Structure formats: structure tokens, C-alpha cells
Amino acid sequence: MFPERLRALRRGQKITLKQLAAALNQHLGPDERPNTASQIGNWERGIRTPSYIEAKKLSEFFDVSLDYLTGKEDHDDYDLAKLFFSSKSLTFNHTKLSSEDRYEIFQLIDGYLTGRNHRQDTDKFYSKQEELNLHFN
């Protein structure tokens, strides 16, 4: 599962093996060896398996969880509420969101979902009611 996910993520971002290796080599630790295109190609073909450190660098680069990358999870879901209150920098259409912006957007989404759930409950109630015939003959 890992080779397929890695290949799909890389191709989805339209980057070459060489470009991915260069990106992973930007922040090498003191005892880390640089990644190479052929090494990553071997990972994608399932010939070799990356170390935990390499897998973690890949998950951070592609912004996915290790569970997703290794196939333990089918989806890499994000909880927007956690994202809004995280320390990650957030932008919308190239505009950085301030902490006030993040809170206001959180409130808008929360209000919308609360209202939607209420409307659905109301619709269920009225759909069970008998329709009133107002046509008098």
C-alpha cells in the first residue's frame, strides 16, 4: 500500500523523483544521508522500505498522516475545528488569516452546521404530518 500511496501523492503534485529528493534534503539532520531519486524510486516500486524518519519526512512533505501513507487509514481526514485552533498558518486566496479571522470563520461554520441540523430535524417532523387540504367544495 505504501508504494502506491507514495507514487500517487508524488504524481498528484506533478513532481519528479529528483524534485522530491531535493525537497526532502532541505532539512537534513546531523546523521542523515541525502535522499536520491533512485532511492525514492525503489520505495515506489516496493523494492526497499524507508526508515521511520524518511516516512515521517514524506508524510510532512505531503501533509498526510503516517497512517494514511502506510495504508492503515483509507482517508486522511482533517477536522477543520482543530485546524482553525492549531498553530499552523492558514491562508485563504493568498490572504493570511488572523486569529480573529479564524475564530469568526469557525463561528460561521459552527452556526451553519447547527442550523442545518435543526432544519433537518424540523423537516423530519413536518414530513410525518398529514397534509392539510384547504380546498373547500
Q: Which domain holds residue 112?
A: 80-127
How much is the pTM?
0.56
Provide the number of structural domains found in the chain: 2
CA nearest neighbour of 52 among 38, 39, 69:
69
Question: Helix, strand, or coil here: 73?
Answer: coil
Query: Do the domain assignments include residue 133?
Result: no
Digitized pLDDT (tens) for each residue of the chain, 137 residues in all: 899 999 999 998 899 999 999 999 998 888 889 999 999 999 999 999 999 999 999 999 988 889 889 888 766 566 777 777 777 788 888 899 998 998 999 899 989 888 887 776 655 555 555 555 656 55
Query: Do the domain assignments include residue 56?
Result: yes
Query: Do the domain assignments include residue 137?
Result: no
Residues 7 and 66 in one domain: yes
Contact at 8 Å (CB) between 17 and 6?
A: no
